Amino acid sequence: MNKYIYALLVVVTTALMGSSFAVGKIGLSYFSPLLLIAFRFTIAGIVMAAAVKLMKRPHPKTVKQWVHMATIGFFQTAAVMGCIFLSLRTITSGESAILTFTNPLLVVVFGTLIFRTRYRLLQWIGVLLGLIGVFITMGGRLDVEIGTLLGFMSAVSWAIATLLIKTWGAPRLDTWVLTAYQMLFGGLFLFAGSFLLEDPFVEVNGASMFILLWLAFMASIVQFAGWFYLLQTGDPGKTSAFLFLAPFFGVLTGWLLLDEQLHLYVLTGGALIFIGIFLVNWQSRAVKTEK
């Protein structure tokens, strides 16, 4: 791939990832949190499911595989996005983005504990720097906002989903089919969560519909399609290292769209997290321990 096209796609996809936090926070003026993302991912899931059907991508042939996709949808879409949008009620979109994108650090920790995977020293240094960064981002205190805990829980859920995808995903499940249906299942879980856990409301007008369609198409379908294209055509390890740009765009768009203050401790903690994620992903190969 041409290096300029590659660089452009990296910037576009990570910018869409990061900016969705600020756009989503604006959307909370018109929707209850869980209902907004329920609509977002159900719409995106239906569109992508129709697309993979027309493309005749291989679908699961067993009930067990459908259950696997539903489980991934619960953690990857319902739990991750539910925690993010609930966190936006009490913390800034930039802080939520930074906390959410600590998930690569948690993948290393969970991979070691659960799958007995060995990682290089440089990767563990990245994890340590990232965790210090999280503590600084929280203001260096233990009496944190509920939104801070929810932001961190979104990263935990994302890390669990990543390990499930590594276990149940390719080659057993087609990547595009999995992406489509995990969003659809996640959206349905979120609808249930909305009616059980909140008082759902929606204000229908031009602004609310624009935000919903932007999140469903640009921040979900276009973002996923662009990112998977990059992973498939480039080196996955090196490409994943650029995920550290997403929280940067999250902080930037929060400042531009919401006039969120750029506190020094948030920028310092975010910088350490970015460096940690970069070290973890840049040396992404891991070796299984011998039993």
Min mean pLDDT across 19-23, 160-164, 277-281 is at 277-281
Greater model confidence, 290 or 220: 220
Mean pLDDT of 117-137: 80
Evaluate whether residue 70 is within a structural domain: yes
> Is the pTM of the predicted complex or chain greater than 0.95?
no
What integer pLDDT is reported at residue 290 of this predicted model? 42
Evaluate whether residue 170 is within a structural domain: yes
Instruction: Give percent above pLDDT 70 in the chain.
Output: 90
Evaluate whether residue 219 is within a structural domain: yes
Evaluate whether residue 130 is within a structural domain: no
CA neighbor of 79 nearest in space, from 231, 223, 197, 217: 197
Evaluate whether residue 49 is within a structural domain: yes
How many domains, in total, are found in the chain? Answer: 1
Evaluate whether residue 189 is within a structural domain: yes
Mean pLDDT of 263-280: 79
What integer pLDDT is reported at residue 265 of this predicted model? 76
What integer pLDDT is reported at residue 287 of this predicted model? 44
Instruction: Give percent above pLDDT 90 in the chain.
Output: 43
Express each pLDDT in 167-177 by its tens digit.
887 778 888 99
Q: Give residue 275's identity as a one-letter amino acid code.
A: I
Express each pLDDT in 65-83 by its tens digit.
999 999 999 999 999 999 9
What integer pLDDT is reported at residue 165 of this predicted model? 86
Buried b (16+ CB within 10 A) or exposed e, 53-72: eeeeeebbeeeebeebbbbb
What integer pLDDT is reported at residue 162 of this predicted model? 84
pLDDT(192) > 90: yes
Q: Which pLDDT band, with edges at 50, 70 and 90, does 139 fall under? A: low
Evaluate whether residue 288 is within a structural domain: no
Measured distance CA(228)–CA(77) in Å, rounded: 16
Q: Which pLDDT band, with edges at 50, 70 and 90, does 238 fall under? A: low
Express each pLDDT in 12-37 by its tens digit.
998 999 899 999 999 999 999 999 99
Measured distance CA(213)–CA(63) in Å, rounded: 32
Mean pLDDT of 142-153: 78
User: The domain containing residue 27 runs over which residues?
Assistant: 3-117+144-261
CB within 8 Å of 288: residues ≥ 6 apart: 115, 116, 117, 118
Min mean pLDDT across 38-52, 216-230, 242-256 is at 242-256
Mean pLDDT of 83-103: 87
Over the chain, what HEC string results? Answer: CCHHHHHHHHHHHHHHHHHHHHHHHHHCCCECHHHHHHHHHHHHHHHHHHHHHHCCCCCCCCHHHHHHHHHHHHHHHHHHHHHHHHHCCCCCHHHHHHHHCCHHHHHHHHHHHHHCEECCHHHHHHHHHHHHHHHHHCCCCCCCCHHHHHHHHHHHHHHHHHHHHHHHCCCCCCHHHHHHHHHHHHHHHHHHHHHHHCCCCECCCHHHHHHHHHHHHHHHHHHHHHHHHHHHHCCHHHHHHHHHHHHHHHHHHHHHHHCCCCCHHHHHHHHHHHHHHHHHHHCCCCEECCC
pLDDT(256) > 60: yes
Is 83 in contact with 154 (CB distance < 8 Å)? yes
If you average pLDDT over every residue of the chain, what do you get?
Answer: 85
Residue pointed to by tokens 């204000």: 203
Evaluate whether residue 126 is within a structural domain: no
Q: Which pLDDT band, with edges at 50, 70 and 90, does 248 fall under? A: confident
Q: Which pLDDT band, with edges at 50, 70 and 90, does 1 fall under? A: low
